[in-house]
Amino acid sequence: MDAKPFAAGREADVFALGDDRVLRRYRNGTDVAREAEVMEYVGGLGFPVPRVYAAQGADLVMERLDGPTLAQAALTGELSIPDGVAILTDLLRRLHDLPPRGGGSAGSSADTIVHLDLHPENVLLTRRGPVVIDWCNAGDGVSDLDTALSALILAQVAIGSIEHPLVDGAGIMVDLFLELAPGDPVRLLDEAAVFRRRQLTMSPDEVAMIGAAVARVRDAALPRT
């Protein structure tokens, strides 16, 4: 294993294991078993995820993907903003077409599998097409909550609450996303904000501005018929 990670997100370090595999390790020791199960489940149904080779403790060994993140490609101009949004909304639509794994509490309202962090940094553009990574929040859930979270995250970037070089493109992304997204992106927006506030990786400033991001989404949302 290379001593230095070749990529690092907010929660994990990613190490190359040769050309074909990576090791993703949670810095806080989170167990990856459930995440790996969800990845294997959606992958088995044809949804684009990295193939999982091993999951133990905080370590996930998976297929190494080639290609930039959707965010990087949008920044360099390799991908237009409308094409980027079309990819995001298409991935959400395909994910929400999958049945839930089941086994939840009786009367659970889960209608599908949700990712709950599907944004331009968690999509890699590979030779085999866009592939979704970072499944730490994923599981059975309500599709509209997932869509609301993606809209909210884009809005956090658009209003400058999450610092990101895509800040200029993110405003157009929010507006287009709300037009193209599957389901109803505002029905569960308040629940999405509650979920987002609870995320440990959010800074106090980011948490303080979630209300403004919610307002940004609501203002832009077209009335749905």
Ligand X SMILES: Nc1ncnc2c1ncn2[C@@H]1O[C@H](COP(=O)(O)OP(=O)(O)O)[C@@H](O)[C@H]1O
Give the count of beta carbons closer than 10 Å to the beta carbon of residue 175: 19
Q: Which of 42, 65, 153, 154 binds ligand X (CB under 6 A)?
A: 65
Q: In angstroms, what is the minimal distance from the CB of 79 to Mg ion? A: 18
Q: In angstroms, what is the minimal distance from the CB of 18 to ligand X? A: 12
What is the C-alpha separation between 112 and 35, in angstroms, rounded? 15
Instruction: Choose the stretch contacting Mg ion; rule: CB under 5 A; options: 50-58, 85-93, 120-128, 152-160.
Output: 120-128
Q: Which of 36, 38, 39, 50 binds ligand X (CB under 6 A)?
A: 50
* Subset of residues 3 to 22 that bind ligand X, contact rule: CB under 6 A: 7, 9-12, 14, 22
**Does position 196 bind ligand X by CB under 6 A?**
no
Q: Which of 121, 140, 144, 175 binds ligand X (CB under 6 A)?
A: 121
Identify which of residues 134 and 175 has a Cβ nearer to ligand X in the complex.
134
Q: Which of 134, 144, 146, 175 binds Mg ion (CB under 5 A)?
A: 134
Q: Which of 62, 162, 166, 209 binds ligand X (CB under 6 A)?
A: 62
Q: Which of 69, 122, 143, 147 binds Mg ion (CB under 5 A)?
A: 122
* Per-residue x/- track, 76-95, ligand X (CB under 6 A): --------------------
**Does position 9 bind Mg ion by CB under 5 A?**
yes
3-state secondary structure the chain: CCCCCCEECCCEEEEEECCCEEEEEECCCCCCHHHHHHHHHHHHCCCCCCCEEEEECCEEEEECCCCCEHHHHHHHCCCCHHHHHHHHHHHHHHHHCCCCCCCCCCCCCCCEEECCCCCHHHEEEECCEEEECCCCCCEEECHHHHHHHHHHHHHHHHCCCCCCCCHHHHHHHHHHHHHHCCCCCCCCHHHHHHHHHCCCCCCHHHHHCHHHHHHHHHHHCCCCC
Judged by the rule CB under 5 A, the positions of this chain that interact with Mg ion are 9, 122, 134
